A and B are shown apart, each in its own frame.
Chain A
Amino acid sequence: MERLLLVDMDKCTGCKQCSLACSLIKEDLFDPHRGRIKILKREDIALGIQLLCEQCDAHPCIDACPDNALSRNDDTGIITVNIDTCSSCDSCVKACPYHGIRLHPETGKPLICDLCGGDPYCVQHCVPGALCWIDATDDLMKQKKKLRSARMAKYRDLKKEAAK
């Protein structure tokens, strides 16, 4: 059965276990800047917003890439980066409507969540349940989108405030 990742901002305590777990499973070290999932943390209002690839249908990152380095699995929505052709130009980072892509601090290649191929390692680290990997239903898909909209709305508010 198809599964989906529910990402709930209200349950996020901002601990960054998810980013650390991601850097460990992908690179055998700890560095929140290398997590495919990142937490935008605002200490004053105690907020953590999870940002990661949503495997969206629109996938503007692919069209934005001048190097044709990104490809997408149509069944899972997972994006793969061809690091040989990628020129680290940052276009995909800018194109992502969910602010889910960033460049690797050393290699400069995009870090894009691949759901660990179907068993996201970060989820087992999220004890408060802000990340849930569950069997997909229509209702849960709606809920996922609702939670995502809330995260993005908050993200926009914060950026607007910062620009003031």
Chain B
Amino acid sequence: MYGHQGQILHVDLKTGKIWTENLPEEWRQIYVGSRGINAKLLWDYCKDPEITWDDPRNVIIYGPGALTGTTAPASGRTSVTTVGCTTGMYLKSNTGGHWGAELKFAGYDHLVVHEIADSPSYIHIENDHVEIKDASGLWGKDIIETDTLLKKWHGEDSRGLYIGPAGERLVRAASIQCSLYHAAGRGGGAAVMGKKNLKAISVRGTQPIKIKDPKKFAEVAKEMRELLRADSGAQSLHEFGTSGSIAGVNELHAFPGRNWQTGYTPNVHPITGQALNEKGYLKRRVACFGCTIGCHRYSVIDEGPNAGIASGGPEYETFGALGNGPGIIDTEGVLLLNELCNRIGLDTISAGTIVQWAIESYERGVLTKEDTDGLELGWGKLEETIKAVEKMALRDGKLGELLGDGLKIATKKVGKDSYKWAIMNAKGLEQSNVETRSAKAYALAFAVNPRGNDHLMTETFAEFGASPEAVELIEKLTGDKKWASPHFTEYRAEIVRWHEDCYEITEALGFCVFTSTAAYGVNPDNMARLYSAATGLKMSEEELMLSGRRVVTLEKAFNVTRGATREHDNLPWRLMHEGAASGPLKGEMNSPEELKEMLDKYYTLHEWDLKTSWPLKATYEKLGLKEVADYLANLGKLPQ
């Protein structure tokens, strides 16, 4: 097979059965790859709403992109899909690193893990040699120790995907670490692995990837590479990393601080990518497999009491969630927290949002010193923040047990209106560090995101009109470039829906979403040409974008089986009811009225039912999802 390797690998942890199936040819047209085929597999195995995240029948699916392992620039990413434990709904988390490419070189497009192992286990894959192995020597080890041991056993060239002590303890904010410092962090996929007693997946592969039309492929890949080389956004990502944008976001009063109570931080410089460079912490710019941008960082503390602390990052989100959020405006402080999370296997976004909620709860007297195991939580208190994060990761003490369950459960346990300062929406995932009150397409995209409110199922950066390409795109989608401003609520539905489709196909092919929705080197047109050259399938831009829409609809359908309704498409209480603290949009909110208007337009555009938000029968049928419609009809969830 060309482009794809043509094989899906299945591992049943209970029976020990290991088997492969051929990748169905038609899926390459209908679902394309990675996120798309993962979604189809999850639907097939787990559509029954009785299958909860911790049910043995829940599967966890790993899928590198259809073009992962090639010179398509920045195409080395992998989607991990399962019934998520944080929301209990659809979860796709996507990671960089080098693991996905290695799985592909081992000969597999997807890996599906079934059931629960009787004791701690790991999977070792070396081409067609696949084994479930005893992980008793790895259980309890942190990410670095796990990596060291697995590379000792299986070679320095092997690539690993691991959970740390947090995932073993089913902590909701636990992350799946990939190639050490990259993560499929969001939504608690690591807890699903922990529940399955699955500590790690180590892979080595030597099967080449064949291309139908190598000459054409090289030509289109070059076009993408040169567009990205010239793109100022991509250049900045290489030079300063994702955190290079923090000063600019802060100037817009859109850099959330102190649990979204501030948007502007004076002297923000220490928690920026520029500071990492200037102060000499940055030791290396790092790339995921096949990425020509290289936005990842490797940072080291050389001197002082913390000398020797080294890790990947910190990223924008980490400087936000564990820096500006808890008020730690200190480069080294964030480096320590970042290293801790990478080592122990914790999603820095959820960890930070949870800790901020705990600090504010303590400040309000809703959590007492007894609840915090004696920790005097407060803004800007590094030592206490580190301890709180450690407790969360290890479920240590009363505070650890509370925070380890994430905000959805913690706010219910604590009560006292504490949901009002919990930055999550009705689905229950802790929000990433975006000020949606002054960016309305982001607000809508966050509200409808099937896995909860963050920027990683679709992102609408173009609404800021920060580059000529972004303005041009907004003009194409809305008819007028004047709508390239995040303050408008008009045309946000159109902007979100296009980005949903584009984001989905970007991930299906394995591309990093920075290439198509933050920088503009990769677009639906050249993606379709490249995919066609790789596979020999004739896919037009329109067909490819339609596959994106199909997958987005399938993901929505999955949530419908789990009881999702229009009420789940909202934003955190604070952002809907309290105004932004400062800046040009001081006092601005994501009011329920404003959101209602945007949602009505969004559902109408998608041809989904306005009352329930559920897709209509005809909508599924138009997308070739008749079987999905039939299943939902049986559940009584198929509006006509």
Q: Which residue of chain B has its CB nearest to the CB of A33?
A: B206
Known: A30-B71, A30-B211. A15 touches B291 (CB 8 A): yes
A42 on interface, CB distance cutoff 8 Å: yes
Residues of B within 8 A of A10 (CB): 284
Task: Give A101-125 interface residues, CB cut-off 8 Å to B.
Answer: 105, 124-125
Interface-facing stretch out of A43-51, A71-79, A85-93, A147-155: A43-51
Interface centre among B70, B71, B76 (most CB of A within 10 A): B71
A5 to B218, CA, bound (A): 22
Pick the residue among A15, A17, A28 that contacts B214 (CB under 8 A): A28
Contact B285 A23 (CB under 8 A): no
The 4 A-B residue pairs whose C-beta atoms are closest, nearest first, are A46-B298, A13-B294, A13-B287, A15-B287
Interface string of B173-211 (1 = CB under 8 A from A): 000000111000000000000000000000000111111
Q: Which residue of chain B has its CB nearest to the CB of A28?
A: B214
- 24 interchain pairs, CB-CB under 8 A: A13-B285, A13-B286, A13-B294, A15-B289, A15-B294, A16-B289, A17-B291, A17-B292, A24-B218, A29-B209, A29-B210, A30-B71, A32-B105, A43-B147, A44-B144, A45-B298, A45-B310, A46-B286, A46-B296, A105-B206, A125-B292, A127-B229, A128-B285, A128-B294
Residues of A within 8 A of B222 (CB): 124
A61 to B101, CA, bound (A): 32
A13 to B73, CA, bound (A): 13
**Distance from B71 Cβ to chain A, minimum over Cβ atoms (Å):** 5
A53 on interface, CB distance cutoff 8 Å: no
Pick the residue among A17, A21, A30, A125 that contacts B209 (CB under 8 A): A30
Residues of A within 8 A of B294 (CB): 13, 15, 127-128
**Distance from A133 Cβ to chain B, minimum over Cβ atoms (Å):** 16
Contact B292 A15 (CB under 8 A): yes
**Distance from B203 Cβ to chain A, minimum over Cβ atoms (Å):** 13
Pick the residue among A29, A33, A125 that contacts B225 (CB under 8 A): A125
A28 to B212, CA, bound (A): 9
Interface string of A22-43 (1 = CB under 8 A from B): 0110011111111000000111
A17 to B291, CA, bound (A): 7
Contact B70 A20 (CB under 8 A): yes
Q: Which residue of chain B has its CB nearest to the CB of A47?
A: B284
B497 on interface, CB distance cutoff 8 Å: no
**Distance from B208 Cβ to chain A, minimum over Cβ atoms (Å):** 4
Interface residues of chain B, those whose CB is within 8 Å of chain A, are 69-71, 73, 76, 98, 105, 144, 147-148, 156-157, 159, 179-181, 206-211, 214, 217-218, 222, 225, 228-229, 238, 283-294, 296, 298, 310, 312
**Distance from A68 Cβ to chain B, minimum over Cβ atoms (Å):** 30
**Distance from B514 Cβ to chain A, minimum over Cβ atoms (Å):** 14
Q: Which residue of chain B has its CB nearest to the CB of A40?
A: B156
Q: Which residue of chain B has its CB nearest to the CB of A18?
A: B71
A42 to B312, CA, bound (A): 13
Known: A15-B292, A29-B209. A46 touches B284 (CB 8 A): yes
Residues of B within 8 A of A13 (CB): 284-287, 291, 294, 296
A33 to B70, CA, bound (A): 13
A14 on interface, CB distance cutoff 8 Å: yes
A162 to B228, CA, bound (A): 37
Interface centre among A17, A23, A28 (most CB of B within 10 A): A17
Q: Which residue of chain A has its CB nearest to the CB of B213?
A: A28
Contact A43 B209 (CB under 8 A): no
A13 to B225, CA, bound (A): 16
Residues of B within 8 A of A23 (CB): 208
Contact A128 B98 (CB under 8 A): no
Residues of A within 8 A of B285 (CB): 13, 128
Q: Which residue of chain A has its CB nearest to the CB of B228?
A: A127
Pick the residue among A14, A45, A47 that contacts B287 (CB under 8 A): A14
A159 to B380, CA, bound (A): 43
A20 to B286, CA, bound (A): 17
Known: A13-B286, A15-B291, A30-B211. A125 touches B71 (CB 8 A): yes
